Structure 1
Amino acid sequence: MRPSNYEVEKQQVRGNKTYAIQLVTIFLGFIVFGLSENIKGPAIPRIQFDFGLSEGQLGTLLSLNALGYLIACSFTAFLARRWGIKAVSVLAFGTMALSGVFIYVSHSYPLFSASYFLMYIGNGILEIALAILSARIFVRNTGLMMNLTHGFYGLSSTIAPLLATGLMTVHIGGHTLDWRGMYLIMLLLSFVPILFALGSKFPADDANHDERMPFRSLLRDRALWLLVLILSFGVVSELAVGGWLVNFLEKAYDWHAVSASSMLSAFFLCFALARLLLGAITDKIGYNLSLMVFSAFSAICTFAAIIGGEQWAFLFAASGIGIAMIYPTVMAFIAKRYAGGSDNAITITVTLMGVGSVIGNYLIGGIMELVKDHYGAGTELGLLRGLQAGYGFIGLCAAICTVFSFMLYRYLKSRKELI
């Protein structure tokens, strides 16, 4: 017996409502993700001062936290299959909120490090959960939708530095919030998407396990390894800006905290607008070509900003236009090329990307220390050259991303598998 028109319409309305809640959950997830990732820019100089950290120690701290992110990425897909995406999403948001409480009460460096590490565990779980959910939902106009949803990460990242700077000066009950109170307030916002996640019905992991592309087959695919390298160098270049740009501008050019945070916000504004407005271009010209063009643009802007000096500092912000497109384009690429095993492909690429992030943050801090010592550790010239060299590595990562994008283009073109 065929369903009546009323029943069909009712099913369509129910399906549209479910899809709308799923979209809201993804959008809010990326907003919280962007806030938690990028409020650290204005906070890091204060954290460094409070605990008496050198640039090298700061790089090590960020590397260890990226290790927490990496660990979370390695087991999240497994949890998603066992518990479901809803439970994993709630776990991610809850972990981030809890880390905010621990950061607030941390007055010793070991407790702070552990709390920060926990926050990155939550970030890693959320990263994989959102990527898997997006790959399951966006089956059409994949590049456009991936960039649109990731654009909300860019929007929240745009306001994060200024919001963090403002909150750190707020007085409540005669006490200044400072960076600890700022982290508490911002991370407690994770409870908002929890409410939507609990009220949403997420796509079940109903793929036949016989049809799922196994890890062994994926690991033999040269294209996947090139995607890993592209994503690793691209994301190091992206995330390093949030951690090092404010520090660079304050110490190299003696900028005020508000001015430096404003430049970081401008970077993320370019970042967000690129994802919101240029996503359709990736679908039109192809994901392979998009990766080459956008990563090259970011590298050129970064190097030009460093060489040009303070008057060309606006190019630090412009570099966000290029680097913004790397992550969502790779995710769209995976969703298209590995439709039968996107969960496994995402786990491999994002986990190995985490390894690159750990190494990248450590290298940036190490390069700064090494060059600073070479030119004179206690001199202004030594500090400037160290900061320039460390930030130059960020631009180099974008350039290397371009090289591997070209190699992927050549490889897939020879096999007539361009996407």
Structure 2
Amino acid sequence: METQQHSLRTEKGSTYLKVHSKYNYYLLISIVFGGFFIFGLSENIKGPAIPVLQNQLQLSQSQIGILLALNSLGYLLACSFTSALSNKIGIRWTGIIAFLSMALAGVLIYLSVNYATLSASFFLLYIGNGVLEIGLGIMAARIFKKNTGTMMNLSHFFYGLSSTVAPTIAASIMGWHVFGEEIGWKGMYLFVLLFSLLPIIPSVAGKFPEETHEIEKTTSYRSLIRDPVAWLIVAVLSFGVVSELAVGSWLVQFLVKAYRWNIQDASRMLSMFFLFFMLARLFLGAVTDKIGFTLSIIIASAFSGICSLAAILTGEKGAILFAISGVGIALIYPTVMALLAKRYPKGTGSAITFTVTLMGIASVIGNLIIGFIIDLVSKMFKGVNGAVNEVVGLQAGYGFIAALALLCSVCSLILYIILKKKNELI
């Protein structure tokens, strides 16, 4: 009798542990998926906001470029300490700090009164974004032990999904009226970023898996610095990602200023870009495995650059090509990450840190250059009445974005030739 009761208690205990473990897994999944969704929102609501805040604060294109460069600098700063922070206080509190800092940035953006306070608020937001992105990557690696590739792709699907709807949602919220006044871009940022507080609930309730430490011979930074292939990969990723991020920052601005579109229509076009972007990552990942990573990047980046240039040359009737360019640019980042993992299997972490940090520096410089190109060309090509020709400046700035994608393709081609000669083609 006692043996039977003990057996029943053991069975109940085992069932409870399984149910509890499953419940905890769903909690952790909600943090990762929800985190990527919020990350996509916070990154891509700026498109509709930039033309409006620029008019309100009377900012030049160069000042907008500096503002966006500060965003990249905040992300770069986050790259330098997030891994150490996670080791020191744990991935749970790293994620919570990221979510809290993003919500706080929303409050500070709402309270900002000038360019200086707005820049500081955006800088904090992008530190939070950087900590969140790296933290989610660490978190996902520990949680998704089974079907890792599928779950990682699904995680990035949520980023793509929120990126697709973010511009349209932002433009819509900016037009809402509360207490007889329009919410505007400040209220929109506050409203959206307060959603960053939601994932904190499962973060507190969930039980996170401990990190396992394995002794592994890793690739040194010294060897990477001496490796020309590593520098070519840096160039490929930098040109590709700067081109990708620049679309989210400048497309709405371009359509509003050059073609006189309203914010809603321009935001819908940016949403279309992210729709193509999301679908490409979801359905074309398998193609990169079949034809090879390096060749995939050559084709994808060239396609994106050609689409963007064609969109500029054909004028307003070819605006849809801006969105279609997302098909190519979407594949660059994940394919480069896969290439790094294959080329540096025993030092992937070092290789990714080296590459992403230098890419962050390129992002800062890239945004600055785009803003200055627009201002410089606008002043050089004045209209008939002597007024600044901002349309030509914007075309030049967006042409530079297209050129970055084409440079990515050229660097990938050089990489392809070098790896083929060494019989190390991936």
TM-score, with normalisation over the residues of structure 1?
A: 0.90
The CA distance in 2 between the partners of 1:388 and 1:175, in whole Å, is 35
- Measured after TM superposition, the shift of residue 77 of structure 1 is 1.8
Task: Quote the residue 1:382 is aligned against.
Answer: 389
Q: Does 1:344 align with 2:340?
A: no
Task: Quote the residue 2:417 is aligned against.
Answer: 410
The CA distance in 2 between the partners of 1:229 and 1:134, in whole Å, is 27
The 10-residue stretch of structure 1 (132-141 or 378-387) with the greater mean CA deviation from structure 2: 132-141
- Corresponding residue SS for 1:416: coil
The CA distance in 1 between the partners of 2:236 and 2:156, in whole Å, is 18
The 10-residue stretch of structure 1 (372-381 or 358-367) with the greater mean CA deviation from structure 2: 372-381
Q: Which amino acid aligns with 1:389?
A: A
Q: Which amino acid aligns with 1:382?
A: N
- Measured after TM superposition, the shift of residue 227 of structure 1 is 2.2
The CA distance in 1 between the partners of 2:137 and 2:339, in whole Å, is 12
The CA distance in 2 between the partners of 1:339 and 1:135, in whole Å, is 16
Q: Does 1:283 align with 2:289?
A: yes
Task: Quote the residue 2:321 is aligned against.
Answer: 315
Q: Which amino acid aligns with 1:357?
A: S
Q: Which amino acid aligns with 1:306?
A: I
Q: Does 1:53 align with 2:53?
A: no
Alignment of 1:177-192 (within 5 A): 177-192=183-198
Q: 1:133 to 1:231 in 2, by over 3 A?
A: farther
Task: Quote the residue 1:94 is aligned against.
Answer: 100
- Measured after TM superposition, the shift of residue 380 of structure 1 is 7.2
The 10-residue stretch of structure 1 (326-335 or 267-276) with the greater mean CA deviation from structure 2: 326-335
Q: Which amino acid aligns with 1:173?
A: F
The CA distance in 1 between the partners of 2:379 and 2:245, in whole Å, is 25
Q: 1:389 to 1:210 in 2, by over 3 A?
A: same
Alignment of 1:82-231 (within 5 A): 82-135=88-141, 146-208=152-214, 211-231=217-237
- Measured after TM superposition, the shift of residue 294 of structure 1 is 1.2
The CA distance in 1 between the partners of 2:16 and 2:146, in whole Å, is 23
Higher-Rg structure is 2
Question: Alignment partner for residue 392 of structure 1, among 399, 403, 413?
Answer: 399
Q: Does 1:64 align with 2:59?
A: no
The CA distance in 2 between the partners of 1:277 and 1:403, in whole Å, is 25
Deviations 1:156-181 (A, max 9, x none): 11111110011111111222211111
Deviations 1:346-405 (A, max 9, x none): 322222111111011011011111111110177678211101000001111111111122
Q: Percent identity?
A: 54
Deviations 1:39-92 (A, max 9, x none): 000000111111110111111111122111111111112222223322222221
Q: Which amino acid aligns with 1:384?
A: V
Q: 1:146 to 1:254 in 2, by over 3 A?
A: same
RMSD in angstroms over aligned alpha carbons? 2.6
Deviations 1:226-252 (A, max 9, x none): 222121111111111111111101110
Contact 1:66 / 1:120 at 8 angstroms: preserved in 2? yes
Gaps in structure 1 of 5+ consecutive residues:
none
The CA distance in 1 between the partners of 2:298 and 2:351, in whole Å, is 21
Q: Which amino acid aligns with 2:179?
A: G
Question: Alignment partner for residue 254 of structure 1, among 245, 248, 260?
Answer: 260
- Measured after TM superposition, the shift of residue 19 of structure 1 is 5.0
- Measured after TM superposition, the shift of residue 214 of structure 1 is 3.6
Gaps in structure 2 of 5+ consecutive residues:
1-9
Q: 1:311 to 1:112 in 2, by over 3 A?
A: same
- Measured after TM superposition, the shift of residue 211 of structure 1 is 3.6
Q: 1:342 to 1:18 in 2, by over 3 A?
A: farther
Q: 1:272 to 1:347 in 2, by over 3 A?
A: same
The CA distance in 2 between the partners of 1:139 and 1:34, in whole Å, is 24
Q: How many residues align?
A: 416
Q: Which amino acid aligns with 1:404?
A: C
Q: 1:203 to 1:356 in 2, by over 3 A?
A: farther
The 10-residue stretch of structure 1 (9-18 or 71-80) with the greater mean CA deviation from structure 2: 9-18
The 10-residue stretch of structure 1 (409-418 or 16-25) with the greater mean CA deviation from structure 2: 16-25
Q: Does 1:401 align with 2:408?
A: yes
